[in-house]
Amino acid sequence: MPSAPEAADGALIECESLVRIYQTGPVEVQALQGLDLVVERGEMVAVVGASGSGKSTLLSILAGTDAPTAGRARVGRWDLLAMSRADRVRYRRHTVGFVRQQTASNLISYLSAEQMVDLPMAVAGVPARERRERSGELLEALGVGDCAKRRPGQLSGGQQQRVAIAVAMANRPQVLLADEPTGELDTATSAEVFGGLRDVNRDLGVTVVVVTHDPAVSGQVERTVAIRDGRTSSEVLRRTTTADDGGTHVIAEEYAVMDRAGRIQVPRDYREALALTRRVRLALEPDHITIRPDA
Ligand SMILES: Nc1ncnc2c1ncn2[C@@H]1O[C@H](COP(=O)(O)OP(=O)(O)OP(=O)(O)O)[C@@H](O)[C@H]1O
């Protein structure tokens, strides 16, 4: 099987000042307005943000199905702004896997679960025996081994999404992208599907980027990236600590994101609380920086 190029040293995904402008007739929509994102190999990151903030646009660019207007976007050694058509096919086949929100759109109604996992490998020229083994392993790993012979109509919504994860993982991608994968599911089923994403991240080492509205999902990953108006505005990092009595709890801390030029976005509620407008006073203190109203 042809393998995707190995990543250079450093982060697996790196987006810098990423811009995507959609032009529909005279109307121009800036879906991404200088977004920065770094994801390390093996990480599982949630991307959150209001409707229209640019989450799906980011995911389509990372998936290689949409091209940025400007900026930099790199996944492994692939420069997403400079890929030929043949590169794009290779990139989509081997480097990234994609799971969509609509369970039905991930699957093919007349194929069984194992046939669906088999298909991307067959297209990539993987020998039949290796395909059979890989399909079996993946469906087992996702807890749907007993569904191998069933078609999508014979699977629950949660099982369908777990099969979709297995399909996306078939060609051993470096990155698994999921756009609201639990959006159509109830809470218990969402937890099951999210568990599937965590399993492939932990056990198969794939880097996962998951777009979600679901706080129960974003609350379980170590890093959540918030997008506002097409830019990365803040990140929440979570770590688990152990207390003296042996009990564990999760500490979540919110950080503002600064780009290479030193720009940060001051949250609207902070700006409003102190009536910060166009000009502010910055002062460097021994271990922090203050921002004061211009008055
Ligand atoms: N193909 C397109 N043509 C024109 N405008 C588009 C296109 N795709 C997205 N947009 C616009 O770009 C902006 C960002 O859209 P995007 O779908 O990335 O947001 P989102 O954060 O994923 O939203 P949601 O949570 O509702 O899915 C929106 O204003 C949207 O209307």
Claim to verify: residue 274 and residue 251 sit in the same structural domain = no
Whole-model pTM: value is 0.88
Burial class (CB in 10 A: 0-12, 13-18, 19+), 211: buried
Can you give the pLDDT at residue 9?
A: 58
The arithmetic mean of pLDDT across residues 281-287, rounded, is 93
Can you give the pLDDT at residue 1?
A: 39
Give 45's Cβ-side CA count (13 Å radius).
22
Confidence of residue 170 (pLDDT cuts 50, 70, 90): very high
Q: For residue 268, give Cα distances in angstroms to 29, 101, 205, 228, 273.
A: 22, 30, 38, 11, 8
**Is residue 13 within 8 Å of residue 75, measured between CB atoms?**
yes
Best mutation site among 20, 22, 51, 213 for ligand 1 pocket (most ligand atoms within 8 Å of CB): 22
Of 206 and 101, the one with more pLDDT: 206
CA of 49 to the centre of ligand 1 (A): 12
DSSP for 190-218 reads: HHHHHHHHHHHHHHH--EEEEE-S-HHHH
CA of 54 to the centre of ligand 1 (A): 6
- Tell me the percentage of the chain whose pLDDT exceeds 70: 96
Can you give the pLDDT at residue 219?
A: 76
pLDDT tens for each residue of 109-156 = 899 999 999 999 999 999 999 999 999 999 999 999 999 999 999 999
The encoded tokens of residue 3 equal 């393998």
Can you give the pLDDT at residue 8?
A: 45
Give the domain extent around 295.
265-295
Claim to verify: residue 121 and residue 30 sit in the same structural domain = yes
The arithmetic mean of pLDDT across residues 243-254, rounded, is 82
**Is residue 75 within 8 Å of residue 96, measured between CB atoms?**
yes
Q: How many domains does the chain have?
A: 2
pLDDT at residue 172 tops 70? yes
Can you give the pLDDT at residue 103?
A: 64
Claim to verify: residue 155 and residue 252 sit in the same structural domain = yes
Best mutation site among 56, 101, 177, 213 for ligand 1 pocket (most ligand atoms within 8 Å of CB): 56
On whether residue 94 sits in a domain, the answer given is yes
Chain mean pLDDT for the chain: 88
On whether residue 286 sits in a domain, the answer given is yes
| ipTM exceeding cut-off 0.90 for this assembly | yes
Can you give the pLDDT at residue 200?
A: 94
The arithmetic mean of pLDDT across residues 176-199, rounded, is 88
Domain with residue 30: its CATH number is 3.40.50.300
Ligand 1, CB cutoff 6 Å, lining residues: 22, 24, 29, 31, 49, 51-57
Can you give the pLDDT at residue 253?
A: 84
On whether residue 47 sits in a domain, the answer given is yes
pLDDT at residue 5 tops 50? no
Claim to verify: residue 69 and residue 25 sit in the same structural domain = yes
Cα–Cα–Cα angle for 254, 235, 11, nearest 5°?
Answer: 135
CA of 18 to the centre of ligand 1 (A): 15
Claim to verify: residue 185 and residue 197 sit in the same structural domain = yes
pLDDT tens for each residue of 23-62 = 888 899 999 999 999 999 999 999 998 888 999 999 999 9
Q: Give, using CA atoms, the residue closest to atom 2 of ligand 1.
A: 22
CA of 140 to the centre of ligand 1 (A): 36
Give the separation between CA 7 and CA 236, rounded to whole angstroms: 26
Best mutation site among 23, 28, 29, 182 for ligand 1 pocket (most ligand atoms within 8 Å of CB): 29
pLDDT at residue 21 tops 90? yes
Claim to verify: residue 142 and residue 278 sit in the same structural domain = no
Strand boundaries in 8-75, DSSP class E = 13-24, 27-39, 44-48, 70-75
Can you give the pLDDT at residue 176?
A: 97
Claim to verify: residue 36 and residue 167 sit in the same structural domain = yes
CA of 53 to the centre of ligand 1 (A): 7
Helix (H) or strand (E) holding 175: strand 175-179
On whether residue 2 sits in a domain, the answer given is no
